[in-house]
Structures are given as structure tokens and as C-alpha cells.
Amino acid sequence: MFPGGAVNPTGKLFAIANNRLTLPRPSAAISQSDSMENSSSLSWWENSSSLVLRTLWVTPTTQVTEQGVVGQEVGGHVLSVPLQVFFSVVMVCVLLLALCGNAVVCVMVYRRAVMRSAINFLLANLAFADMVLAVTAMPFDLVTLVTAQWPFSSTLCRTSAMFLWLCMSVGVAMLLVISMDRFLIIVRREDRLTPHRAKILIAASWILAFFLAFPLFLGYPSLQVPPSALQCILTYSPDSGYHGYVVVLALFTFFMPFTVMAFAFGMILSSIRHNALRIRCDSALSLSKPRPLHLSVDVGFKTRAFFTILLLFVLALASLAPLVVFSLCAVFSSAVYSGAGLFQVSAWLLILSFLRPALNPLIYYCRIRKFRLACARWVPSLCRLRPPLTSSAQRRIQPSAVYACSDHRSSI
């Protein structure tokens, strides 16, 4: 408590042992009435300075020394130079991959009619959400990481936090819809997802995620402005209403969707294993019975597509779980929220969560053949190493290749 009952609720508790604060005495120019009014405050400071251990409530960015309150606090909130350089390089690489890779996904689904399936619409929306996250959160976090301070306004801080949870919620919702579609196809043998239904689900996911994250922009719950953390984070509060909102946000954003997806993936894996055993037993009992060709091709294609979605699920779980759990701990525990390593921990967790938008396009390229072929055809001619050769040039270099190609085309 300060004189007059004033308390700084956003500060940290610092202890100063065997030190006295030297305050300037009132000058002679001050009137007698002013001196009498301030006498109670001066006596309070003089009496408290004789204590062996005194505590002061100061802001997290304030440094307390023997000379008083000076400058900005450096210890605990600033990373070492090698770690800061490492985080900065990783953040730049993640930002470029997230922007370029997800932009390519969105453009190819939009421009190529063969890519406009229901699943590709969902994947394109997931890529768009990751691209929005890269634009609205990563650049500000990079500046905060380099300068060790938040040079922007509090409104921009709340906006960045809102888009962080908004895009994260939309991405998880898309994974949930894709997982349930795979569940219906493989387990229930039902294909109900159409492009029209996919667009409706995309719009509903954005609306629901916006209503969940918009209170962060309004300032409820309150957010901690960096540099105590790399990103605007949820603060500790004993308010039950505050706790209720954070619990609802975590449930709808992370815990409920990932629980449903884990159950769906477990049922899909069980169905795939059961179908594999049944096919093996049937082939062993009746070797002379003809086996439908389309069955193996269809099962193999769906299995490969399922494992692609499973890989996206594992990546999202590994990148988002630490951030969500740490946010809950910071809200419910003052020890976690006021820890000395909050800046470093938030840097690690945010970079880990940003790996998902950067790695998703690489997974699409490695696992989805249509996407890989579309990428090869969509590369501009300026990016090619050399211009394509004419038919006469190819005939002079390797005549057999041209004639073999012509024979192949005629046979087809």
C-alpha cells in the first residue's frame, strides 16, 4: 500500500534489504501549508525506511536500486544475444515460409478448377487463416523480439492477441471438419461433404471464432503488454468471470476439438486395421475368387489421405498444446505469471506455435500428389533455370527421345 491507500495492481513485488531510499527534502520555497500537507507522507517514508526488509510495488519494467527507481528493468526480460539472434532468424524463416507457402496454396485452389474439391476448400481456408496469422502476429512479435520492448500501442497489442486466437481457432476447426469427413468416409462409408457444405462450414467457423476472440480486442479479459512477454498474453486474475471466459476459450479452441479428433482418428485406425485383416483372411480362404481392382486402389488412396490429415493433427497438437496450457497456468497461477523467465518461455512457445503455419504447406507438397503437380505447372517461366527447348533443338540433342515420345503418344 502506498500512502493514501493507493495500490499498483499490475506490478511485481521486489524486496530491498538494508537499503534506504534517499528522497529530496522540500525546499524553502514551498509554503508552510504545503509542508504540513506532505508531512504525513514524509514521516511514512522515513519510518518505513528504517525497516530491515521493505517491499515496493513497481511495474514490471522498473528497476529498483539504492538510488531509487531508475530506468528500465533489464534482468529476466531480455534474452542473451545468441538466443536473441537464434529466435530472430527462426522467426524470419517461419514468417517467410508461412506467407509464401500458404499464399501458393490459396492461389492454386482458386485458379485451378481441378483443385476445387470440398477438402481442398477446407485446406485453402486453413492456409488463409495461417497466412492471416503470419501477417497480424508474427511481424510485431519479431520487432518485440529484436528491440526487447513493445513499440506499438495497446490497441494494436489487443488486436494482435485477438487475431492470434481467432486464426488458431479457425485452423483447429478446419482440422476438425476434415477429420470428421475422413471418419464418415472410412468408418461409416458415407461421403456427405460437398463444396457447398464446405463453404457453409468455413463461414460458420469464422463467425464462431470471431465471437470467441473479439472480447480480447475490447480489453476483457485484460492483457499484459510486452516486454514482460513476447506477445500480449492473458494476465493473472482472481476474478471468477475472467476465469470462466478463459476456460470457455480454451475448451472451444483446443480441448474439445482435439478430443473429438483423437476419438475419430482412433476409430479410423481401428477400421483400417480391421479391413486389412478381413482382406487378408478373404484372400487366404479363396485364392481363386477374383478380387475387385477398384477396392485396393480406393482404400490405398483414402488411407494415404487419412495419414496426411493425421500428420497435420499431430503437428497442430504438438505446436498448440504448450501455448494453451501455459496460458491457462498464467491465468490461474500468479507464480507462473510473475516468473522471471516469462519473456523467454513465451518466445519459445510462440515460435513453436508458429511452426504449424510454416510446415503445413511443406506437408501438402510432400504428401498430396495433385498439389505437387499443380506447383510444378504453376511455377512462372521466369523462375525456370533455362527456357524450354523447341522440337528441332530436342531432335538435334537426342533424336531417340523425340521419336520415343511420339510413339508413346500414338500408342495412347
Domain of residue 253, residue span: 81-378
Q: What is the mean pLDDT of residues 285-295?
A: 50
Question: Would 383 be classed as within a structural domain?
Answer: no
Question: Do you know the residue count of the chain?
Answer: 412
How does pLDDT run across 10-59, given as a tens digit for each residue?
Answer: 333 333 333 334 444 444 444 444 444 444 444 444 444 333 323 222 33
- When pLDDT is cut at 50, 70 and 90, the band that residue 178 belongs to is very high
Together in a domain, 139 and 193: yes
**56 and 133 part of one domain:** no
Average pLDDT value for the chain? 73
Is there a single domain that holds both residue 125 and residue 195? yes
Per-residue pLDDT tens digits for 95-143: 999 999 999 999 888 888 778 889 999 999 999 999 999 999 898 888 8
24 and 116 together in one domain: no
The grid coordinates listed for 10 are: 499490475
Rg of the chain on CA atoms, in Å:
30
Q: Are residues 133 and 160 in the same domain?
A: yes
Residue 334 domain-assigned (yes or no): yes
4 belongs to a structural domain: no
Query: Are residues 159 and 61 part of one domain?
Result: no
For residue 18, being part of any structural domain is answered with yes
pLDDT value at residue 280: 59
Report the number of distinct structural domains present in the chain. 2
Same domain for 148 and 249, yes or no, is yes
For the question of whether the overall pTM of this predicted structure is more than 0.75, the answer is no
User: What pLDDT was estimated at residue 396?
Assistant: 55
Tell me if 398 is assigned to some domain.
no
| DSSP notation for 311-350 | HHHHHHHHHHHHHHHHHHHHHH-HHHHT-TTHHHHHHHHH
What is the domain-level CATH number for residue 213?
Answer: 1.20.1070.10
List the single range of 11-15, 293-297, 321-325 with lowest mean pLDDT: 11-15
Answer for the pair 242, 330: CB distance below 8 angstroms, yes or no: no
Determine the pLDDT at residue 352. Answer: 92
Helix (H, G, I), strand (E, B) or coil at 200: helix
What is the percent of the chain with per-residue pLDDT over 70, rounded to a whole number? 63
Domain co-membership, 110 together with 209: yes
**Measured between alpha carbons, how far is 331 from 13 in angstroms, rounded to an integer?**
18
Burial of 389 (0-12, 13-18, 19+ CB in 10 A): exposed
Task: Please check whether residues 57 and 122 belong to one and the same domain.
Answer: no
Q: Is residue 251 very low, low, confident or very high in pLDDT (cuts 50, 70, 90)?
A: very high
Q: For residues 226 and 232, what is the distance between their CA atoms, to the nearest angstrom?
A: 6
Pairwise CA distance, residues 36 & 42, whole Å: 10
The residue assigned the cell 468416409 is 185
Q: Indicate if 25 and 152 belong to the same structural domain.
A: no
Regarding whether 128 and 208 lie in a shared domain, the answer is yes
Model pLDDT for residues 378-401, shown as the tens digit of each residue:
665 445 445 555 555 555 555 554
